[in-house]
Amino acid sequence: MTTGTSLLRVEIAGAVAHLRLARPAKRNAINNTLVRALENAFADLPASVRAAVISGEGEHFCAGLDLSEVTEQTVAEGIHHSRGWHAAFDRIQFGPVPVIAVLHGAVVGGGLELAATAHLRVAEASAFYALPEGQRGIFVGGSGSVRIPRLVGVSRMTDMMLTGRVLDAAEGHAAGISNYLVGAGEGLAKAMALAERIARNAPLSNYAIVQALPRIAEMSPSEGLFVESLMSAIAQGDEAAKQRVRDFLAKRAGKVGDPQ
Ligand code: 1HE
């Protein structure tokens, strides 16, 4: 099934949704229409979808904020604009399913913010990462100051913003941006294979991983351990978990390391 808008194509095949930024002439720069389309697409994912992949059409993943939309903004409009990105990106990170981003070419500014919102990132060798906000006289507004340091650390992000430093795919991988680094043109197939694998997990287990894990990581150890106990008991109490554990004990399920 193919849906979406002219700027965001959504294809659903089985349990995996593939969302493609479809504005290659503008290097997939994110304008207000595209940010709303992302928000709506994640809000409207059918219940049959168990994992999602985001990629970009053309030579680049995403050139960030559409700069043509910000030149005439007032301060108040700027705040609303940024909060609109936050709402959309929260829909992605705290939506119902794990999300994998496929990165190639420019992953810059708001494009890196979008990539950091996904749960996993597959980068092709062409990917490069930059935060040109410093150069443009602006600041990150699409959740970058919250999400990007959690991948690369405040120090590296400060360097990228102050100096305009560009990380290539290998440097980005070493810095913690990508989880998987693959060759040219291999990113989508890798991400789809990961999504298919993830989609076979128990849905409640995936939900706990994307919803509870990042929140627990922000809690004090005492609160985190308490919430962990609740989440783990809820997940274990689900029939899907009980069946999987019974299957393992009856030697009907694979061992760690078996081919998936
Ligand atoms: C754009 C944008 C954009 C391209 N907004 N129109 N982001 C940036 O500062 C990145 C700016 N873009 C670039 O540095 C380059 O475009 C790229 C390195 C990404 C790609 O270069 P290239 O040679 O393949 O493409 P190009 O010729 O520069 O651009 C093609 C067209 O896309 C051109 O428009 P055209 O009408 O002349 O064909 C560009 O103007 C247009 N284009 N990028 C608008 N970003 C929520 S806060 C987030 C804050 C930020 O994201 S700041 C970082 C913004």
Q: Print pLDDT tens along the chain (260 aa).
A: 667 689 999 999 999 999 999 999 999 999 999 999 999 999 999 999 999 999 999 999 999 999 999 888 899 999 999 999 999 999 999 998 999 999 999 999 999 999 999 999 999 999 999 999 988 889 999 999 999 999 999 999 999 999 999 999 999 999 999 999 999 999 999 999 999 999 999 999 999 999 999 999 999 999 999 999 999 999 988 888 888 888 888 898 888 888 76
What pLDDT score does 134 carry?
A: 86
3-state secondary structure of 16: strand
Q: Are strands 16-21 and 8-13 parallel, antiparallel or unpaired?
A: antiparallel
Q: For the domain covering 2-199, report its CATH number.
A: 3.90.226.10
CA 183 to each of CA 102, 104, 156, 180: distance values in angstroms, whole numbers, following the listed order = 12, 10, 25, 10
pLDDT for 1: 66
Check if the beta carbon of residue 194 is closer than 8 Å to that of residue 52. no
Closest by CA position to 61, among listed 148, 119, 123, 138? 123
Atom of ligand 1 nearest to the CA of 85: 46
Mutate to test the pocket of ligand 1, among 27, 81, 139 (most ligand atoms within 8 A of CB): 27
Which atom of ligand 1 is the closest one to the Cα of 109?
Answer: 51
Q: How far is CA 13 from the centre of its chain?
A: 19
pLDDT of residue 2: 67
**Span 203-249: which CATH code?**
1.10.12.10
| Alpha carbons 248 and 253: distance in angstroms, whole number | 5
Residue with structure tokens 């994640």? 42
Structure tokens of 230? Answer: 């609740």
For ligand 1, atom 35, name the residue with the nearest CA.
26
Domain-wise residue ranges, the chain: 2-199, 203-249
- Residue 11 CA to ligand 1 centre (angstroms): 26
